Structure 1
Amino acid sequence: MSPAVDEELLDDADDLAAADPAGVLRALATAGAQVRESVTRSEEAGVRRVADDDRPRSVVVASLGGSAMVADVLALHDGAGAPVPVTVQRAAPLPGWVGPLDLVVAVSLSGRAQGPLQLAAEAGRRGARLLTVGAPDSPLADVCARARGVHVPVERGSLSRRASSRTGLWTLLVPVLRAAHALGLVDVPDPVLARVADRLDAEAEGCRPSSESFVNPAKVLAVQLGGSVPVVLGDGAVTGVAATRAAAMLARTARTPAVRGTLPDDASDVVATFDGPFTAGPDRDLFADPFLDGPGAPKLRLLLLRGPGIDPEGGPVDADDLARVELADRVQQLAEGVGVDVSEVVAEPGHPLEQLAGLVARTDFAATYLAIGLGLDPGLSPHVADLRDAR
C-alpha cells in the first residue's frame, strides 16, 4: 500500500508549524541569510589567511552526514583543470602523502563528528595547514587552535534546534568556498555569493508554508513524490550534486529511500529500473480511483534535475550542453513510454553555484513537506537518534 500525502495539512500554515516542532521549514528559509552571515563570519575569522603561504599541493576535505555536500561542492567547482587536486575523505586515516604542503578542511556543525575531528587532529600532528568550520568552544575548534589553523565558528542557535547540519548547509559551505576562492581554486567571488543568497531568498518565498499547494512548487513536488519510489537523476555535474543532496534529504527528512544518479555515467542503471517491479506499465488503469479501489503499490517516479535549457537564439550551442539535453530528453521519453511518472526541476540560468542553490532549496523544501504530509517529524528520526546514542 502506498502512503498518501495529506494535502489539506500542507495547505494549513498553522498545522504545518505544529507538525514541524524543530522548525525545519523556518530554518530552510534562512538559507539566504546564512550565506550573508557566513561571509561576515569568514572575514572576521580571517579565512583568507589560508592563502598567506604558497598554494597548497592538494586539498583534503572532511565532511559527512548533513554537511557531506560541502566536500561535493568544492570538488565540483575544483574541476579537472584546477591547479591542485581536491580529495574527499569521510573518515580517518588521512592519505599517507598528506603533510605540511597540503591543506586539510574539516567541517562539522557540532564540532564533534568523529570523522572530521580525527582527520583534523591527524592533520595537525603532520603539520598540514588546517581550516575548520563548526561550533565555537568545540573539540574541533580546540584541535584547530592547537594546530594554529583557521577556525570559522558557527552558532547553532541561529539554526533549527534539532535539524542540525541538514538545514545549515550554507553556513558550513560558504567559509570553505571563500577560502578556496582566496587560494585561486574556485571562482566564487563575493558578488556570486550575493546572487546565491538572493536566489535562495526567492526560493524560500515561492516555497513558503503559507503558499497554497497548487502554486507552491515544493508542495507540488512533495505530493508527486508521495507513495512513490523516487529515482533522482541529475543531467550533469552540477545537477548530479543536487541529486545526491535530494536523495539524502528524502531519506533523512522524509524517510523515503531514493536512488540517485548522474548523466551520462548512470544512464544505463537508471533506465534499467524502468521495466522493474515498481513500474506501472503502459497499460495501467488511468481511471483507477484511489478512494474507491484503495491506494496501489508504490510506483517508480523519476525526479529529473536539469540544468538551464538551451536558447536556440542565444548564440552558439556548446556540444556538451547539447548532448546533455538530448540524453536527458531521451531518458525522460523512455520513462514516460513505459508509464513511469516524471517530475522535473529545471535550474535557472546563472553561475553554477546559483543553479545548485535553486535546485537544493526546491528539493529541500519538498522533502520537508513530504515528511509532514506523511505524518512524520521532519526534524528527528527516532531510529537515527537511537543509532547516535549507541555510538
Structure 2
Amino acid sequence: MALDEQLLDDPDGLAASDPSGTLRALAMAGAQVRMALSATAEAGIAKIVADGRPRAVVVASLGGSAVVGDILILLAGSGAPVPVSVRRGLPLPGWVGPLDLVVAVSMSGRAPGPLGLAAEAARRGCRLLTVGAPRSPLAEVSERTGGVHVAVPRSETPAARASRMGLWSLAVPVISVAHELGLTDASPSVLERVADRLDTQADKYRPSSDAFVNPAKSLALELSGVMPVVLGDGDVTGVAAARAAAMLARTARVPAMRGALPDDAGDVVATFDGPLAKRPAADIFADPEFGDAPASSPQMRLLLLRDAAPTLDRPDGSWLETARTADAVRATAEDAGVRVTEVAADPGHPLERLADLISLTDFASVYMALAGGIDPLTSPHVADLRDRTH
C-alpha cells in the first residue's frame, strides 16, 4: 500500500480524512484511563472485592477488546495466586462456579461471546464483573443478577466508541478490580503514571509533528508496502505484538504475522529464506514498456519490539537470555537481507512499558490507513461478515 507522504505532514488534510476522529480517540488514551478510574470507583466494585480472592478468574473478551484478557494475564504473571484464563465465547468451562469471578468485556455491550458467558456465569452463581456501554444487554445481565457493571463513559467521537480505539476504557476497570483482589500490583498510582505516559506519547505522535521527527509517522512509512512480522522479545512485548498485528489488520488493512520470544524464534527466522524475504531476481528479457515486468509481491519487514530491561519483573536474570535471543534474531535477519525496524519501551512498570509500545503502533496503524486512503474505523468486508453471521 503506497502512502501519501504529503498528507502525513498536512494536519488539516489528516483531519479532513478522519471524520470519525480516530486520531483524536488515540490522543485521549490518557483521559480514557482517568475517566475509567472514576467510573470504576462509582460502580461500587467493593461488592466484588468484599468476598475476598476468588478461586479463579475467567475473562470473556474478543475482537477489539480481546487484548484486555491478555493484559490481565500479563500483569498477574506466572506467580499469580489464582489462575487467570481467557474465553472468547461459550461454553463456559464446566468447573466454573460460585467461587470464581467471571469478567465480561464488550464496548457495545452486545457482543454475543461475552454476553453469553456473562449470562451463563450469572446462572451458575459466579461473581460477575461486566464492562461496556451503559443500559446495554450486558449491563442488564449484570445488574439483574447481582453483578457489578462498569459503564464506559459515552464519547462524542465515533471512534472512541469502537473497542479498538477505547482500549483503556475497557482495560482499566478490569485491572483495578484485579489489583483490589491482590492479583496484580497495578495500583491507582500506577494507572495515573500510565495516563501521564500516554499523554506524553500522544503529544509526540500528534498530527502536527512532521514525519521526520514523529516516530509513529516514520513507522507508518517503513511498514508501507511490506508484510510486517511483529515480534516481541518477552511477555510485555508479546502482548504489544499481538495488539500491533490486530491494529494493522483491522485499522490499516495490512495482514501481519506476530510472535513472542523465545517460543516463536524458530518460526520467524525460518521465513527469512522464504518467498517474501528477498526481492525476486529481475528478468533481463522483460520489457516493462509492454507489461512484461514481473508482478512485485510485498516484502517482509521485521518489526522487533524490545522491552526495557525488566530486572524487577524477572530478578532471576532470565530476561537476559530472551534479550540475547532477540539480538540473534535481528542479526540473522540482517544477514539474510531482511529489513528490520526496532523500537523499545522506556523503563517503568510493565503496564507503562506496554502503553509505550501500544501507543506507537496504534498511531502508526491509523496514519497508515489515512495516508493510504482508507477509513480506519469501518471495513465494508467486516460489515458484510457481520451481516452474514447474524
Aligned to 1:15: 13
Residue in structure 1 matching 2:55, options 54, 57, 60: 57
* 3-state SS in 2 of match to 1:157: coil
| Stretch moving more, 152-161 or 372-381 | 152-161
* 3-state SS in 1 of match to 2:271: helix
Q: Map residues 45-194 of structure 1 onto 2, 5 A cutoff.
A: 45-161=43-159, 164-194=162-192
Question: Sequence identity of aligned pairs in percent?
Answer: 62
Q: 1:159 to 1:193 in 2, by over 3 A?
A: farther
Q: What amino acid sits opposite 1:109 in the alignment?
A: M
**Uncovered stretches (5+) of structure 2, i.e. residues with no partner:** 283-292
Structure 1 contact 47–175 (Cα < 8 Å) conserved: no
> How big is the shift at 1:389?
2.5
Instruction: State the alpha-carbon separation in 2 of the partners of residues 295 and 37 from structure 1.
Output: 50
Q: Which runs of 4+ in 1 moved over 6 A?
A: 281-284
Q: Map residues 1-391 of structure 1 onto 2, 5 A cutoff.
A: 3-161=1-159, 164-280=162-278, 296-309=296-309, 319-390=317-388, 391=390
Question: Deviations along 1:179-220, whole A, 9 cap, x unmatched?
Answer: 000100111111100110011011100000110000000000
Question: Deviations along 1:65-114, whole A, 9 cap, x unmatched?
Answer: 11001000001111111110001000011000111100000000000000
Q: 1:161 to 1:310 in 2, by over 3 A?
A: closer
> How big is the shift at 1:163?
6.1
Structure 1 contact 281–339 (Cα < 8 Å) conserved: no
Instruction: State the alpha-carbon separation in 1 of the partners of residues 156 and 19 from structure 2.
Output: 16
* 3-state SS in 2 of match to 1:166: coil
How many pairs were matched up?
378
Q: What amino acid sits opposite 1:307 in the alignment?
A: D
> How big is the shift at 1:281?
6.3
Q: What amino acid sits opposite 1:36 in the alignment?
A: R
Structure 1 contact 66–165 (Cα < 8 Å) conserved: yes
Instruction: State the alpha-carbon separation in 1 of the partners of residues 120 and 228 from structure 2.
Output: 39
Structure 2 contact 88–114 (Cα < 8 Å) conserved: yes
> How big is the shift at 1:296?
4.6
Instruction: State the alpha-carbon separation in 2 of the partners of residues 353 and 96 from structure 1.
Output: 32
Instruction: State the alpha-carbon separation in 1 of the partners of residues 367 and 25 from structure 2.
Output: 13
* 3-state SS in 2 of match to 1:165: coil
> How big is the shift at 1:282?
12
Instruction: State the alpha-carbon separation in 2 of the partners of residues 364 and 294 from structure 1.
Output: 34
Q: What amino acid sits opposite 1:368 in the alignment?
A: V
Instruction: State the alpha-carbon separation in 1 of the partners of residues 315 and 350 from structure 2.
Output: 17
Instruction: State the alpha-carbon separation in 2 of the partners of residues 295 and 163 from structure 1.
Output: 40
- Normalising to structure 1: TM-score of the pair? 0.93
Q: What amino acid sits opposite 2:259 in the alignment?
A: G
Q: What amino acid sits opposite 2:306 in the alignment?
A: R
Structure 2 contact 25–160 (Cα < 8 Å) conserved: no
Instruction: State the alpha-carbon separation in 2 of the partners of residues 116 and 55 from structure 1.
Output: 22
Q: What amino acid sits opposite 2:301 in the alignment?
A: R
Structure 1 contact 78–186 (Cα < 8 Å) conserved: yes
